[in-house]
Chains A and B, each alone.
Chain A
Amino acid sequence: MSDGAGANAAALARAERREAQGLFLLCSPAVLLIAFVIFLPIGWLFTLSFTDEQGAFTLGHYARMLHPAYTRSFQTTLELSFLVTGICCLLGYPLAYLMSQVSKGWRAVIFVCVLFPFWTSLLVRTYAWLVLLQRRGMVNTWLQDVGLIDAPLRLVHNFTGTAIGMTQIMLPFMVLPLYAAMTSVDRDFVKAAASLGASPVKSFWQVFFPLTLPGLLAGVVLVFVLCLGFYVTPAVLGGGRVLMWSMSIERSVAVYSDWGAASALGVVLLVVTLGILWLMNRLFGVGRAIGGR
């Protein structure tokens, strides 16, 4: 009997190895593709960032980032990313909660409302915000007609307008993982908490909310990382004042034709993004939240 089990185990192990090899083979086109389109260019980017025009080693591209023009842009990028991520949490959580609670029909309606902008071109949505928020735009005209304000508010061509536009664009990235996490929560836990005498508020905070944390963290990571590299919306809605890191990269290429400096800026953005991901992983175990084991 023990022999039979041993033979069985060996056969199982063989089968498992074969399966692993098979899976690896199946993955290999994707792995090769990733190597070619991600790791190779990143390696090249890295090399360029340390190379001057004559092809010699230099740290000059990194030294130039110490100028206030760049440090300020870096600060703006972080501020905007934190702000937009924060607002997305505050708006996205109740919305996802609502979606998980209402009837099927209503859920479909809200889904369309969330996804429809998601399917619309980023550029179109950004310009739509410009039309809505500008001096003679719909929002200001309406507020003036109603008599709430005398002079138009400065809603766009600044940090405010950029934050408004980016929040709307980023919201689906927050709502979708949150909604997925909420629907997978077993409602019996909440009922059990209630039957044990917990108030609705208490059962929400002590039972429901902790169970949806992985979804929230996944949303936070997605939104924050996407914000760090955002270009179009700040360029159109920022009025030239909101200089994101990505715009510094563009300027290096467009104004100075300086690929080395642009590469160095890119490397810094990449390193900072990876650093933040690592930190979040250490603090909250985001790896688990976004599907890792």
Chain B
Amino acid sequence: MSIKGSVVVAMAVGVLAVPAGAQQSITVASWGGAYQDAQRKAWFEPAAKDLGITIKEDTTSGIADVRAQVKSGTVTWDLVQQGTNGCILLEREGNLEKLDPAVVKTDGVPADMKSDYWVANLVYSTVLAWNTKTYKDKKPKGWADMYNFKDFPGGRSMRRSPMYNLEAALIADGVDPQKLYPLDVDRAFKKMRELKPHIVSWWPSGAASAQLINDGEIDMIGLWNGRVQAVMKEGAAADLTFNQQIILADCWAIPKGAPNKAMAMKAMAHMMTPQAQARLPLYINYGPANAKAYDTGTITPEMAKGLPSSPENLKNSFTLDVKWWADNLDAVTKRFDQFIQE
């Protein structure tokens, strides 16, 4: 996830957690940094106030943390933030508590962003972005243009991971974005051979992707929307399209054996309400997972334009099938590592 890098910053925040008084408390672990700061303002503080509880905070660096807590039988987190691919793996491994549908209402969340054990709470996406100095008149419209070297000559960059790369290749090869899964891996790798000579850099981290577009080192790139929007805000010669954006989400889950799971579900429900969900974009460039948030009036039409999950931007998008990736990540990543080294 783009946010993992800032975990270190948030370690300090975790230490500052409010000491428990007489009131009940729960412990929430998230990605830290600016990400968790936004969650605190939009969700933790209002939930703590309304439910009359104390919310202690910690940070996670991924599913290994949850696995370790459950395995050792010393679960300290009541609520944990993960990427949806992480939530799926944890669910399959039996490391999560089942959510009580009577408490946690998830009807505004799309079906491919929730299960009986977890629910997506915010949405971001992988978008196509480009250097506006290089492509002045004609703008790239979708992943096919990433592979259109005649009309859009120049350096390319994609993530150093098969995720997003295979999807982009198949769309460029003519597959309907709504019918991508299960991915035709052979076809995707064959198509990616066309892209490979044009790749300047396979970016390893969100920060690196932002640097590449900011410095004009590449002309077209697939990267997380928040990253490119941040450099655009600072005046970089860049633009993006939400067309064919690859929707990704992060999710809430309750580790198996969490000490305060009943209260954790109440807090989760509170943070999933349309009102709470609509508050998140006030603090950070991530969209709410609950579509009803856009009906609350909190999110202005101007803000909605920049959010991946706004109804307008969702129209020509598709959601990354995290279940497919959970099954295939290992084998496909090995093949990808071989591919980029050839």
User: How does the 8 Å CB contact mask read for B179-208 relative to A, with 1 for contact and 0 for none?
Assistant: 000000000000000000001111110001
Of A26-34, A88-96, A236-244, the one with at least 4 CB within 8 A of chain B: A236-244
Q: Does A135 lie at the interface of the complex (its beta carbon under 8 Å from any beta carbon of B)?
A: yes
* CA A134 to CA B161, docked complex, whole Å: 22
Q: Do the beta carbons of B160 and A240 come within 8 Å of each other?
A: yes
| Distance between B28 CB and nearest chain A CB, rounded to angstroms | 21
A window 78-93: CB within 8 A of B: none
A window 28-82: CB within 8 A of B: 67-70, 72-73, 76
* CA A134 to CA B208, docked complex, whole Å: 13
| Distance between B253 CB and nearest chain A CB, rounded to angstroms | 15
* CA A248 to CA B217, docked complex, whole Å: 26
Q: Does B46 lie at the interface of the complex (its beta carbon under 8 Å from any beta carbon of A)?
A: no
| Distance between B59 CB and nearest chain A CB, rounded to angstroms | 16
B window 311-342: CB within 8 A of A: 329-330, 333-338, 340-342
| Distance between B342 CB and nearest chain A CB, rounded to angstroms | 8
Quick one: which of A69, A135, A256 contacts B155, CB cutoff 8 A?
Answer: A135
Q: Does B63 lie at the interface of the complex (its beta carbon under 8 Å from any beta carbon of A)?
A: yes
Q: Does B45 lie at the interface of the complex (its beta carbon under 8 Å from any beta carbon of A)?
A: no
Q: Does A5 lie at the interface of the complex (its beta carbon under 8 Å from any beta carbon of B)?
A: no
Quick one: which of B199, B216, B338 contacts A69, CB cutoff 8 A?
Answer: B338
Q: Do the beta carbons of A73 and B215 come within 8 Å of each other?
A: no
Q: Given that A135-B216, A136-B216 are contacting pairs, would A69 and B334 also be in contact in the complex, using a CB cutoff of 8 Å?
A: yes
Q: Do the beta carbons of A135 and B63 come within 8 Å of each other?
A: no
Q: Which residue of chain B has the shortest Cβ distance to A259 in the bound complex?
A: B64
Chain A residues with Cβ below 8 Å from B330 are: 256
Q: Do the beta carbons of A255 and B333 come within 8 Å of each other?
A: yes
* CA A248 to CA B200, docked complex, whole Å: 21
B window 147-174: CB within 8 A of A: 155, 160-161
Q: Do the beta carbons of B216 and A240 come within 8 Å of each other?
A: no
* CA A255 to CA B201, docked complex, whole Å: 19
Chain B residues with Cβ below 8 Å from A243 are: 337, 340-341
Size class of the A contact interface (CB-based, 8 Å):
20 to 34
A window 193-247: CB within 8 A of B: 235-236, 239-241, 243
Q: Do the beta carbons of B337 and A73 come within 8 Å of each other?
A: yes
Q: Which residue of chain B has the shortest Cβ distance to A254 in the bound complex?
A: B62
Q: Does A144 lie at the interface of the complex (its beta carbon under 8 Å from any beta carbon of B)?
A: no
Chain B residues with Cβ below 8 Å from A135 are: 155, 200, 216-217
* CA A240 to CA B203, docked complex, whole Å: 6
Chain A residues with Cβ below 8 Å from B63 are: 257
* CA A102 to CA B160, docked complex, whole Å: 48
* CA A253 to CA B63, docked complex, whole Å: 11
Chain B residues with Cβ below 8 Å from A157 are: 200-201, 217
Q: Do the beta carbons of A67 and B334 come within 8 Å of each other?
A: yes
Q: Does B105 lie at the interface of the complex (its beta carbon under 8 Å from any beta carbon of A)?
A: no
Q: Does B139 lie at the interface of the complex (its beta carbon under 8 Å from any beta carbon of A)?
A: no
Contacts A69-B338, A241-B202 supplied; 11 other A-B pairs, CB < 8 Å = A69-B335, A69-B337, A135-B155, A135-B216, A136-B215, A136-B216, A157-B200, A235-B204, A241-B341, A251-B333, A257-B62
Considering the complex of A and B, which 4 residue pairs feature the smallest CB-CB distances, nearest first? Answer: A240-B202, A69-B337, A239-B201, A240-B160
Supply 16 A–B pairs (Cβ within 8 Å), ascending by A: A67-B334, A69-B336, A135-B155, A135-B217, A136-B217, A154-B200, A157-B217, A235-B204, A239-B199, A239-B200, A239-B201, A243-B337, A253-B64, A255-B329, A257-B64, A257-B67
